[in-house]
A and B are shown apart, each in its own frame.
Chain A
């Protein structure tokens, strides 16, 4: 009988303790909540400097980016890609047409009319970035992260939106530049 009464008493006490705990959480809900309201709030970007030498390693492989103004259309990255997720098309310009130079002062000879990277296929191996003679294709978050803000989510509603199209030449511009130089002057 004593044990029976003691059990009841302990049940009541522990119930009240438990209800105290939950009501405590209820009334400091605003302070203690752990929910991140995702589209409005985001986690801070991960700390990039974690002790690696940034000249040699891409610490975070977030997304491939191409500085299309520096691209000379050499196809080296497309050939290096093990999953063939890079598609490049180029057009040759006639001799004597000046289409500018890259940041490394290399004369450009090709018009890059298409430079598509399908990031849904990319395996983030980083192999395309090493052969690039102009350092114009790189993983964001790596050594070139100062060039491009880190976008670690790039979520889309449509899988096709994961194909990033970097070529920015208008068809009319391509048509004008590929005409023989004599015709261009007219």
Chain B
């Protein structure tokens, strides 16, 4: 949508001489840079917030230096900027026995899997780079693309820890994608569309006059589906309590043990980008995307962007809350939760949601 608008604008302005392929490339570059900016800013802010949240939860105060005026600065606000600069300037080490080409390729594949998912996310009523008819399916498909990068990283490092981490993450992500996808299907049945903009538009209005007409509130099955999806999403992003692929106490750092400097930063960047994506999907599918929680009040293009970001950031904060509350699951417990608990209940949700739809129509 925004992409088409960018192409039209390019062709009608003084850049018209580029022709339609040139305009397409220009629009893709502009859109890509905007997404990259969002991902980078989100990562920098979220790392800072995560460090502060974790510190407060453990009765510490977190980073306090590096702000304007350095040590006397305010609450360490520039800590992650300094960290990012450090990572950019660090030596890039590739182990002698690593598979060099795959080792270099892996972080980019992982990052790309997170990055291209942003294309389909509806930030506001008119702000979505490409308005796919199968947007939800597209995001699910490309976010499972990242596991390839993960396995490549583990394999190419030529290191036991890395390989174990990669194997574990493959098992974990494959297991948890199923309940996540089936939980989303429970909503797709009700909405009858995979297009994220129409999914959001279907949630405008209110239920009983006060509850927003979000899918999470529409029936008990979608309510449960939200929690199943969210737990599975935490597992898909490899975050605690599902962080067995990078379990520090067992595997040092898992698949990114051998990485340093900028390549390591790409792993981190894609972790936070993945967090944003899964939370954005949860916000769009269950929490009404850019629709206002106050009905018609405070709704509009800019308010839409505001409400969308508020919902996503709220869910990201909940993920951080999870991380600093729960201990890591064992491998067998992890599989147990996925196959014996989440999967049967997500099937019940799917069935119940379908029956609900039949009953209502």
A residues near B (Cβ < 8 Å) are 8, 15, 18-19, 21-23, 25-26, 29, 32-35, 37, 39-40
Is there contact, CB below 8 Å, between B56 and A25?
Answer: yes
Residues of A contacting B326 in the complex (Cβ-Cβ under 8 angstroms): 15, 18
**Nearest 6 interchain pairs by C-beta:** A29-B56, A22-B325, A22-B57, A35-B61, A32-B59, A26-B56
Residues of A contacting B58 in the complex (Cβ-Cβ under 8 angstroms): 25
Indicate whether A22 sits within 8 Å of B61 (C-beta atoms), given known contacts A8-B341, A29-B56.
no
Is there contact, CB below 8 Å, between B64 and A37?
Answer: yes
Interface string of B48-86 (1 = CB under 8 A from A): 000001011111110010000001100000000000000
Interface string of B320-333 (1 = CB under 8 A from A): 01101110000000
Nearest opposing residue in chain A for B71, CB measure: A39
Is there contact, CB below 8 Å, between A19 and B325?
Answer: yes
Is there contact, CB below 8 Å, between B324 and A22?
Answer: yes
Interface pairs (12), CB distance under 8 Å: A18-B326, A19-B321, A23-B321, A25-B59, A26-B57, A26-B321, A29-B56, A33-B59, A33-B60, A33-B61, A37-B61, A37-B64
B residues near A (Cβ < 8 Å) are 53, 55-61, 64, 71-72, 321-322, 324-326, 341
In whole angstroms, how far apart are the Cα atoms of A34 and B59 in the complex?
Answer: 6
Instruction: Give the distance to chain B from A41, nearest Cβ to Cβ, in Å.
Output: 11
Chain A at the B interface: mostly helix, strand, loop or mixed? Answer: helix
User: How many contacts A-B (CB < 8 Å)?
Assistant: 41
Nearest opposing residue in chain A for B337, CB measure: A11
Nearest opposing residue in chain A for B341, CB measure: A8
Instruction: Give the distance to chain B from A130, nearest Cβ to Cβ, in Å.
Output: 43
Instruction: Give the distance to chain B from A13, nearest Cβ to Cβ, in Å.
Output: 14
In whole angstroms, how far apart are the Cα atoms of A29 and B58 in the complex?
Answer: 8
Residues of B contacting A23 in the complex (Cβ-Cβ under 8 angstroms): 57, 321
Count chain B CB atoms within 10 A of each CB in A18, A21, A26, A34 and give the residue with the most: A26
Residues of A contacting B55 in the complex (Cβ-Cβ under 8 angstroms): 29
Residues of A contacting B56 in the complex (Cβ-Cβ under 8 angstroms): 25-26, 29, 33
Nearest opposing residue in chain B for A25, CB measure: B57
Sample of 5 further A-B pairs with CB below 8 A, known A8-B341, A22-B57, A25-B57: A21-B325, A23-B321, A29-B56, A33-B59, A37-B64
Nearest opposing residue in chain B for A32, CB measure: B59
Instruction: Give the distance to chain B from A82, nearest Cβ to Cβ, in Å.
Output: 40
In whole angstroms, how far apart are the Cα atoms of A39 and B70 in the complex?
Answer: 13
Is there contact, CB below 8 Å, between B325 and A29?
Answer: no
Residues of B contacting A40 in the complex (Cβ-Cβ under 8 angstroms): 72
Residues of B contacting A35 in the complex (Cβ-Cβ under 8 angstroms): 60-61
Residues of B contacting A39 in the complex (Cβ-Cβ under 8 angstroms): 71
In whole angstroms, how far apart are the Cα atoms of A34 and B57 in the complex?
Answer: 12
Is there contact, CB below 8 Å, between A22 and B321?
Answer: yes
In whole angstroms, how far apart are the Cα atoms of A33 and B60 in the complex?
Answer: 5
Residues of B contacting A18 in the complex (Cβ-Cβ under 8 angstroms): 325-326
Residues of B contacting A21 in the complex (Cβ-Cβ under 8 angstroms): 325
Instruction: Give the distance to chain B from A17, nearest Cβ to Cβ, in Å.
Output: 10
Instruction: Give the distance to chain B from A2, nearest Cβ to Cβ, in Å.
Output: 15
Residues of A contacting B325 in the complex (Cβ-Cβ under 8 angstroms): 15, 18-19, 21-22
Instruction: Give the distance to chain B from A111, nearest Cβ to Cβ, in Å.
Output: 43
Residues of B contacting A15 in the complex (Cβ-Cβ under 8 angstroms): 325-326
Nearest opposing residue in chain A for B62, CB measure: A35
Nearest opposing residue in chain A for B344, CB measure: A4
Residues of B contacting A19 in the complex (Cβ-Cβ under 8 angstroms): 321-322, 325
In whole angstroms, how far apart are the Cα atoms of A21 and B326 in the complex?
Answer: 11
Residues of A contacting B324 in the complex (Cβ-Cβ under 8 angstroms): 22
Is there contact, CB below 8 Å, between A26 and B53?
Answer: yes
